[in-house]
Amino acid sequence: MELKDKMVLVTGSTDGVGRVVAERLGAAGASVLVHGRDEGRGKDVVAAIGAKGGKAEFLVADLASLAEVRRLAEAVRAKTDRLDILINNAGVGTGGQVAKRQVSADGYELRFAVNYLAGFLLTSELLPLLKASAPARIVNVASAGQQAIDFDDVMLTHGYSGVRAYCQSKLAQILFTIDLAEQLKGTGVTVNALHPASYMDTTMVRQAGVTPWSSVETGAEAILNLAASPALEGRSGLYFDGQRESRADAQAYDEKARRRLRALSLELIGQSSKTSREQHS
C-alpha cells in the first residue's frame, strides 16, 4: 500500500512500539492520528513527526472507559472523512506475577477492557469510515502470549493473575480478528492480527520485571508489514508471529467460541446484535 497521503490512526502511539510505528508512518507520507492518554507525550510525538516533514495530530482518550472510546471515534470522524488504516496497538501489560485485579471505568477486568474490548468498540465505531475508504486495513496488535477464554469467568473474579488476564485478552483480539474478517468479506476492508516481537524494550515489559530481548524497531517492522505490505493485499483473518504467518491458540479457530465472544462483547458495550449486523452489512 502506498502510504503517501493515507490517513492512519495508531492507538497507544505516544510510547514504545506504537510511537515508532507512528513516526515511521509519518516519515512515509501518511497523515497520522496519534493517540494516547498523556497530552504532553502526544504533542512530543506530533512534533517529532512534524520535524521530519510529516503530518500528525494528537487525540487524547483513556481506553479504560468505553465512553472515552466512543469520544475518540467521534474525534476521528470530526477530523477526517476517510480512514485507510486502523492500528489497534494500545494495551496494558501483565503487571508482573503479583498484579492485583483491577477494573475499568465500566467495571470490567482492566486488561480485557483495554486490550480487547476498547479495540472491539473503536473498530465497530470506525467501520463505516474504513469501508468508505476501501481498500483499507485493520491491524490488531496481539501477542504470542495467549490463553483460552473461560466463558464462565471472563472477568477473572476467581484465581486472578495478571499474566492470565493479559493472555486471555490477547487471544480475544485474535478471535475478534478472525470473526470480523468473515463479516467484512467483499467490503475491501481487511483485518489481521500479530505478535510483533517477544519482550520488546518497552515500558510494559520493564514494568512486568522482564529483561527486554527484542527491539521496538523489530516489532514496528512487523506491524508496518501488516499495515502496508503489497503481499497482504486482500488477505484477511490471519495471525502473524513477527512477519511470518502463523497459528494462534486453537480457540481462535473455534467458531462457537468466536460467536460467544461476539455476543458477550456486544452485550458489554450495550449494543444489540441487530445494530451490529446493520453496521457490518
Cβ atoms of 58 and 34 within 8 Å: the answer is yes
Rounded CA Rg of the chain: 17
With residue 268 as reference, give the H or E element that holds it: helix 255-268
Cβ atoms of 86 and 226 within 8 Å: the answer is no
Q: What grid cell was written down for 207?
A: 514494568
Catalytic residue flag (residue 199):
no
Q: What grid cell was written down for 80?
A: 477526517
Cβ atoms of 137 and 240 within 8 Å: the answer is no
255-268 and 273-280 helices, crossing angle to 10° = 110
Burial 223-252 (b: 16+ CB within 10 A, else e): bbbbbbeeebeeebbbbbbbbeeeebbebb
Q: What grid cell was written down for 12?
A: 497507544
Distance CA 195, CA 40 (A): 28
Distance CA 141, CA 176 (A): 12
Query: Which residues, listed in sequence order, are joined to residue 247 by a DSSP beta bridge?
Result: none
Amino acid in position 245? E
Q: Which residue has the cell 504533542?
A: 43
Of these residues, 166, 199, 239, 253, which one is catalytic? 166
3-state secondary structure at position 99: coil
- Active site residue ranges: 166
